Structure 1
Amino acid sequence: MPSIDDVKNYLAGHQVDVWEYEQPTPTCETAAAAVGCTPAEIAKTLLFLVGGKPAVVVTCGDMKVKSSLLKKAAGLSGKVKLPQAEDVLEYTGYAPGGVCPFLLRADLPVLLDTSMQRFEKVYAAAGNDYSAVPVTFAQLEQLTGGKPVEVCDPA
């Protein structure tokens, strides 16, 4: 399981800062309050199980993932389900509330919803629920190896 120090070290090698807070940042609303931005600018990292296979979606805090678009983008079929907390930890290495898009397993598909492109920067978690990472969409692509897709509608 990667620690926040692992994430910091990885991102430092790419000249990307990790911001840490005393107040918790586990939701889009609490993270936005800590960062000083809108909830839409928070890049939430979500794990889904599609036909029992995991896929990660990174999207804006004001967006909702559409199952049909997720299945098509991931090339998977079957029922789309939100996992249990222990599944999130198993597949991502992070606990819910602090899941970040960095240092994920190589076999875990990462889908980057293009809704994030409307912002100069978005703020992702850094592996715990007291952190934020300011990144551009291009940096997210580079740092995660994620695939740009359209899988969301406004919540």
Structure 2
Amino acid sequence: MSENAQSPLPESAQRVADLLAGIGHDRPVVMLPATGKTSAEAAAGLGCSVAEIAKSIIFRRVADDVPVLVIASGSNRVDESKVAARVGALGKADARFVREKTGYAIGGVCPIGHAVAPVMLLDADLFRYDSVWAAAGHPHAVFNLTPQQLQAMTGAEVADVAQAVAS
């Protein structure tokens, strides 16, 4: 992993770096040498557990086409019925919807700086960790923060969003 101080960040990652600086976040946007499109890829590049990746998943609320952002632990599958019980019926968000509503491409959706303010839920399981990594607007860009900082930055409701693990 490198902080890529010599070369400029991609435009979308620089936008996130500027947003973070504007709210006083003191940790840099880090560029992964390989893609971080999946939680497993990001964790491998960072040397952390998959569970410490705060993945951003976008759904479309059926009633009004509002984006719904679920920030989940990378090791969890999101239980759409739990999310729908809190925010209303959900539909799939295709790549065009995600880019249009967030300003980011799938694989790099940052939890902040969206084009359209989403309804947000934050996975309670993230609070098991001292720090987590979130996408920073580009498939290779991430930033580190505490779950408490993530909640403060987003204003997201903390909820149980994880699918139950079959035993």
Aligned mate of 2:30, from 19, 38, 62: 19
Aligned mate of 1:102, from 106, 109, 112: 112
| Cα drift, residue 21 of structure 1 | 2.0
Task: Tell me the equivalent position of 1:68.
Answer: 81
What is the DSSP-based 3-state SS (H/G/I as helix, E as strand, rest coil) of the residue aligned with 1:63? coil
Higher normalized contact order (CA 8 Å, seq sep 6+, divided by chain length) = 1
Residues 154 and 9 of structure 1: is their aligned pair in 2 closer, same or farther, counting only changes over 3 Å?
A: farther
| Cα drift, residue 83 of structure 1 | 1.3
More strand by share: 1
Which structure's CA Rg is the greater one? 2
Q: Take 1:113 and 1:147, find their aligned partners in 2: how far apart are those partners?
A: 9
TM-score when normalising by structure 2: 0.83
Which amino acid in the other structure matches residue 38 of structure 1? Answer: S
Task: Tell me the equivalent position of 2:92.
Answer: 82
How many residue pairs are counted as aligned between the two chains? 151
Judge which range, 14-23 or 37-46, deviates more: 14-23
Task: Return 5+ residue gaps in structure 1 as ranges.
Answer: none
Task: Return 5+ residue gaps in structure 2 as ranges.
Answer: 1-10
Instruction: Point out 4+ residue stretches in structure 1 off by more than 3 angstroms.
Output: none
TM-score when normalising by structure 1: 0.89
Task: Tell me the equivalent position of 1:139.
Answer: 149
For residues 73-122 of structure 1, what are the alpha-carbon distances to aligned partners after superposition, in whole Å with 9 as ceiling and x for unaligned? 22x2x3x3321111110111100110110112463111111110111111
